[in-house]
Every structure is written in C-alpha cells, then in structure tokens.
Amino acid sequence: MSDVAQNQFNIREYIRENLFPHFMCPGCGHGIALRALLNAVHDLGIDKNQLAIVSGIGCSGRVGAYIDANTFHTTHGRPLAFATGLKLARPDLEVIVITGDGDCLAIGGNHLIHACRRNLNLTCLMLNNEVYGMTGGQVSPTTSADRFTTTTQYGNHEPIFDACKLAEGAGAGFVGREMTLQTPALRDLIKEAIAHDGFSFIEVLSDCTEIFGRKNDMGESAEMVLAQKADFRSVSYGTEIGETFKPRGMKTGVLLRDDRPEYAMAYKRHNEKKLKQ
Amino acid sequence: MNRRVPLKADTPAASSAPERPTNVLIVGVGGQGVIMVSKVLASLCQELGYQVKQSEVHGMAKRGGAVFSHVRFGHTVYSPTILEGDADVLVALEWAEGLRWLPYLNQDSGTFIADTQHIVPPFACRNRIRGADSGYSRETVHEVMESVANSFALDALQIATELGVPKAANTVLLGTLSTALEFPVDAWKGVISKFVPPKTVEANTRAFEAGHEWALTFDRETRLKEWQEHTARFSAEIARSDVAVTSTLEITEAWCKGCDICVKFCPERCLAMDERQIAVLTDPDRCTGCRICEWLCPDLAIAVHTPASPVEA
C-alpha cells in the first residue's frame, strides 16, 4: 500500500502551475480531458522529457500549453502535420496531438485523413465540444442537428460529421471515443491509444458550457455531461441494445484496432531497400 | 433425559421414541445451503421411520437475507414450527445468524453448532468510509462458547477449503451435527450423496467425515483456549480497522471557477458552493474519499489525499 501511495498520481507534477488557474470557462470539459490524459501518461510511466504535446488553435489548442512537457502550439488545423514532422525527426519522443473538432475536422480535415492513411505512431486526441468556442460560438462540423450557434440562428440543419467513422475509413490503426464523465474509462482508452503502435485517434466528447450550453439552454456542466451519458452507449453494451438506446447512434469505447504496418518503420524499410538497389 | 439422542443408533422404528419431537433449527445467509442441509436431515429422519415436519423461509438466496429452516421429527409431530427456547439443536451456517437465533435454543440441554465465518450483511455497512466499523456482531467466539454449555464453533469454511472444496462447508457442519443426533453414519452419507451433485459426492463425503471427526475429537478446554487466542487476534484487528481512514480534500480556491459539477456529483452531498461561488467541503466526516470530485473538476482544483489504511499498511 505504501508503494501505491508513493506512486499515486499527483497532477501538479505534470502541469505548469504558474499558469493556473487555466483560461477555460467554468465547467469546460477540456479540463477533465486534460486530467485524464495526464493520468494516462503517469500510469504508463512516460518521462516528461520524452513527451511532446502538439496542439492547434482553439480552446483545445490552449489545453496543451498547461502541460509541463515539450509543448508545441502550432497553426490552425495543422497540429497533425507538425506532429508528423516531429515524430519522423525524433522517433524517440511520445507525440500526442491535442486538437478540437473545428481544428481537426474542418480546417485540418485533410491533414487528419492523411495522418490516418500513413498510420504514423501518433496519438490524436480530438476534444469535441460541438462548437468553435474561442471565436464566439460558430457552427462546427460536429454541431448536432437543430442546435443554435451564432452562425445558425435558426438551428443547425447540416448533418454531423462522425469523426471516428472518418478515421476508420481513412485507415487509422486505433479508433476510440469516450465522454468526459467516464473519466477512468477515458484514461484507460488514452492509455491503450498511446500504447498502440500506429495512428491512434480518440474523440473525447467534451462540453462547452458557456458558449454552446448557454445558447441551447442545456444547463450547467453537470446537466450537459449527464445528457451526453444519455446519448451515448459503450460498445460493450452490444449492437442490439445499443441501437435502441442511442439517440445519436454513436458508441463509446474502442471502436477499431488494426495492426497494420506503422509508417516510420515502413518508411525506413522502404528507403533501405531502395538505397541497396 | 437427554433430548439430543432420541433413538439408539440402529433402532429403525419410532416406537421407543420420546413423545416430544426433536427440534433442529438451521439458520444461515441466503445462498449458503440452509435448505439443502435441512432437506438432508428431513430425508434422513424419514428414511429411519420418523414423522418429519419441515418449515422454512426461503427465496432469500440473494446473499443478505436471513434464511431459517425448522426441522421437527419424532413419533408424532403436530406443529411444523419450533417455539422460542425449544430447539434441541441450532445449526448456524454463519456466525451472526447463529447469534440472532440463539434465544430459540433450549437453554439447558440445547446444542449450538456454528460456523465462525462472517458474512457482513449490506445493511450493517452504514458508513461508507474505508475501514469504518461495519456494525457486525461483536460477540467473540470465546464469549459465546463460555455462555452456552453445549456449544461447538468451527471454521467449517476453512476445513472445507483445506479439503479443496470450499462449497462443501455446510456438509462439514452436517458431519458435526451427525455427532449430536446419533444416527448411523452410513445413513447420513447415503442421504447426502442423493442431495449433492453427482460429481461432488466424493468431496462431500470427505467433508462430512472431516466435520464428524472434528466433533469427535472436540475437547472443550483446548478449544476455549484456542478461541481466546483467536479473540485476542481478532480484537486487535478490529481495533486497528476501527481507525476509519479519513480522506482530506484539498481545494485550491484560487483555481476554482464555481462550475458546481463537484457539488452536483458528490454522492455524499458533503460539498457546497459558498457565497463566493467556490466549492467548500461542508462535512469532512461524511467524505468517503471516492474521488469523483477530483476526477470531474475541470479546473483541477480538487485533490483528494487518502492515507494508507492501517489494516492494509
């Protein structure tokens, strides 16, 4: 027991305390996701000097800056492109990308599909809060039907983007989805994703309380996360029950695991072969 | 007259049986096999030519409900239930259940056979703090054995586990019961083999023999001494585990943005928002250290510090 106590996760070892309190609004799910990520890093025993966090622009992009590791705050939509270069140059680093729904699916959609296609050993955490929160609450590719945002004053009529299906289709090695309310499950999913050799894509169902929740009268953070819980079911529930119970028709948990060749190794082998010729 | 021994071992007919029937009360926790034990006893008596009446409360097999079964046998049995203070033998498959039914035992000549295993009922766990007192019966084996003259307390589960068949704990108790009733041992074994699954007949026979042997070699003085030692050890454990592990909650006020999520999700309702809209722990005694607030705090402002439990340490 004493050993366990010594190894207990203390989040203050992993954050830049001088930057706290963080800039996020009260009840923002990104903070919970940050905690789950750091706990996963702690559980896997990853050295902070060997950890590189690459983030884009937006509320999600700012999350990376609070982590006391090698952090890289990049341009809008391009964290995966930067991370690809970083991982190829420094394969010894554990590279984790934190991105948002707008950052990853709209502006950086093209980078996402090619990162999935290459299957480079990266972990991509997409914090999905259904809105462009930082710029004032514009509609994003994942905004649910009939939700109000500053650019959909009569409700959103566009169909939503299922990011996990996109990643599966584009060839990611590991795809998962989890909500912030199930924090231990989210931590375990992130652990599995980091351990997976290949591109791992995780959609974290976060909640934007101040911009999105307020405009749609969804209550405070507690009500929002409970509403999420009513909307999603774990894959472990099975298909039949899942279909009847899920209004949004989406599952949480590990959705895909595919052990196809990892990009950096395949690239190295290919080059060696060509150089010999 | 010793009512424990209604018949000579091999007398088949009940002609010489006492007018008053013999009362055996079998109690335990749902799922332990109280009904199986009483059925074995009832069938055995029936085979030997007695009139038997059995009455039970069952359907409590969800581990937690009290289960009891009255078995009355003799020349003629009218009522199926046993009066308080009228049981000749009380067989308890669980320690606290045995104590609960002790008033039913005949105080002068009754025999008390109890398994010392503890199954703490969920309703005894009123305090969810780790290491808190469970409210389980505090009478020690030594105290009870001293106050009840004809008493046998054995760790049947331990005996059965040593034989490799933990599920046969109640067969061990049947073995002990067989020494109190003086029916032929072979008849006991025959009936038991009808009631247990065919694959486990051999194991149950061994368990029965172990219980029988335990009772035959029973020496009250040595056992009392043993139980006293056991008591000392047990109370030392209790004393240590009585120190409830209290978790301390560290709330960094400067980081809290007052989103209310910890207050709404705290299962013990021991958090609240103060007038500055900052989370405060209102009732530290109720905090069980479940860490839900720590997990869900988006501002990373809550840290739960749980010291190592003295029992586990």
Supply the mean pLDDT for chain A. Answer: 88
Q: Once rounded to an integer, what is the mean pLDDT over residues B203-226?
A: 86
Q: Once rounded to an integer, what is the mean pLDDT over residues A121-147?
A: 91
Q: Once rounded to an integer, what is the mean pLDDT over residues B276-298?
A: 88
Check if the beta carbon of residue A254 is closer than 8 Å to that of residue A235.
yes
What are B240-254's pLDDT values in tens digits?
A: 555 566 778 889 888
Check if the beta carbon of residue A232 is closer than 8 Å to that of residue A186.
no
- Name the nearest CA neighbour of B71 among B61, B80, B79: B80
Q: Quick one: what percent of chain A has pLDDT higher than 70?
A: 93
Res B154: pLDDT = 87
- Name the nearest CA neighbour of A221 among B110, B102, B264: B264
Res B209: pLDDT = 92
Res A46: pLDDT = 93
SS3 assignment, position B296: helix
CA A123/CA A190 separation, integer angstroms: 8
CA distances from B51 to B73, B78, B86, B183, B238 (A): 6, 10, 18, 15, 46
- Name the nearest CA neighbour of B21 among B75, B65, B95: B75
Q: Once rounded to an integer, what is the mean pLDDT over residues A74-87?
A: 94
Q: Give the confidence band of B235 by pLDDT, cuts at 50, 70, 90.
A: low
- B 250-309: CB under 8 A from A: 252, 254-261, 264-265, 295-301, 303, 307-309
Chain B nearest C-alpha distance from A237 (Å)? 23
pLDDT exceeds cutoff 70 at B59: no
What are B250-274's pLDDT values in tens digits?
A: 898 889 988 889 999 998 888 999 8
Kindly state the tokens that stand for B56. Answer: 């039970």
Res B7: pLDDT = 44
CA distances from B291 to A15, A46, A176, B69 (A): 19, 24, 25, 44
pLDDT exceeds cutoff 80 at B5: no
- Name the nearest CA neighbour of A132 among A146, A147, A122, A154: A147
Q: Is the peptide bond before A21 cis (omega within 30 degrees of 0)?
A: yes
SS3 assignment, position B272: strand
SS3 assignment, position B163: coil
Check if the beta carbon of residue B172 is closer than 8 Å to that of residue B162.
no
Q: Once rounded to an integer, what is the mean pLDDT over residues B216-245?
A: 71
Q: Give the confidence band of A190 by pLDDT, cuts at 50, 70, 90.
A: very high
Q: Give the confidence band of A145 by pLDDT, cuts at 50, 70, 90.
A: confident
Q: Which CATH class is domain B22-241?
A: alpha beta
pLDDT exceeds cutoff 50 at A52: yes
Strand B89-92 and strand B111-115: the pairing is parallel
Would you give the DSSP letter of residue B239?
A: H
Q: How many CB atoms lie within 10 A of CB A104?
A: 34
Q: Give the confidence band of B120 by pLDDT, cuts at 50, 70, 90.
A: confident
CA B27/CA B95 separation, integer angstroms: 10
pLDDT exceeds cutoff 80 at A22: yes
Chain position carrying tokens 């995966």: A80
**Residues sharing a CB contact under 8 Å with residue B11, sequence separation 6 or more, in sequence order:** none
Res A14: pLDDT = 93
pLDDT exceeds cutoff 50 at B43: yes
pLDDT exceeds cutoff 90 at A117: yes
Q: Which residues are A189's β-sheet partners?
A: none
Least confident of A202-211, A252-261, B140-149, B193-202: B140-149
B122-145: burial string, b at 16+ Cβ within 10 Å, e else:
eeeeeeebbbbbeeebeebbbebb
Look at B243 and A99; give whichever has higher pLDDT.
A99
- The CATH H-level superfamily of A24-276 is Thiamin diphosphate (ThDP)-binding fold, Pyr/PP domains (3.40.50.970)
- Name the nearest CA neighbour of A133 among A45, A194, A60, A67: A60
Contact A221 B295 (CB under 8 A): no
Closest-CA residue of chain B to A207: B298
pLDDT exceeds cutoff 70 at B12: no
Contact B298 A31 (CB under 8 A): yes
CA B89/CA B149 separation, integer angstroms: 12
CA atoms in the 13 A half-sphere facing the CB of A161: 22
- Name the nearest CA neighbour of A167 among A179, A159, A156, A175: A175
Q: Quick one: what percent of chain B has pLDDT higher than 90?
A: 26
pLDDT exceeds cutoff 80 at A239: no
Q: Once rounded to an integer, what is the mean pLDDT over residues B21-45?
A: 90
Look at A202 and B108; give whichever has higher pLDDT.
A202
Residue length of chain A = 277
Kindly state the tokens that stand for B173. Answer: 């108790």
- Name the nearest CA neighbour of A55 among A126, A129, A139: A126
Domain definitions of chain A by residue range: 24-276
Would you give the DSSP letter of residue A58?
A: S
Residue length of chain B = 313
Q: Give the confidence band of A104 by pLDDT, cuts at 50, 70, 90.
A: very high
Res A235: pLDDT = 74
Res B3: pLDDT = 44
A chain contacts of residue B303, beta-carbon cutoff 8 Å = 10-12
pLDDT exceeds cutoff 80 at A171: yes
Contact A32 B313 (CB under 8 A): no
- B 195-254: CB under 8 A from A: 252, 254
pLDDT exceeds cutoff 60 at A51: yes
pLDDT exceeds cutoff 60 at A3: no
Q: Once rounded to an integer, what is the mean pLDDT over residues A198-224?
A: 91
Contact B260 A222 (CB under 8 A): yes
Would you give the DSSP letter of residue A120?
A: -
Give the A-side interface with B, CB within 8 Å. Answer: 1-2, 4-5, 10-12, 15, 20-22, 24-32, 34-35, 180-181, 183-184, 209, 220-222, 225
Kindly state the tokens that stand for B19. Answer: 């007018």
Pick the CATH number of B248-305 from 3.30.70.20, 3.40.50.620, 3.30.420.40, 3.30.830.10: 3.30.70.20
| Max Cα distance, chain A (Å) | 65
Least confident of A215-219, B55-59, B69-73, B191-195: B55-59
Q: Once rounded to an integer, what is the mean pLDDT over residues A185-205?
A: 94
CA B223/CA B230 separation, integer angstroms: 10
Check if the beta carbon of residue B241 is closer than 8 Å to that of residue B266.
no
Helix axes B201-216, B169-181, angle to 10 degrees: 50
Q: Give the confidence band of A6 by pLDDT, cuts at 50, 70, 90.
A: low
What DSSP line would sit under B191-233, residue for residue? HHHHHS-GGGHHHHHHHHHHHHHHHHT--HHHHHHHHHHHHHH
Q: Give the confidence band of B31 by pLDDT, cuts at 50, 70, 90.
A: confident
Q: Which residues are A94's β-sheet partners?
A: A51
Res B11: pLDDT = 45
Contact B295 A184 (CB under 8 A): yes
Domain definitions of chain B by residue range: 22-241, 248-305
Check if the beta carbon of residue B55 is closer than 8 Å to that of residue B81.
yes
pLDDT exceeds cutoff 90 at A122: yes
Would you give the DSSP letter of residue A235?
A: G
Res A238: pLDDT = 61
**Which residue in A10, A31, A222 is closest to B265 by CB distance?**
A222
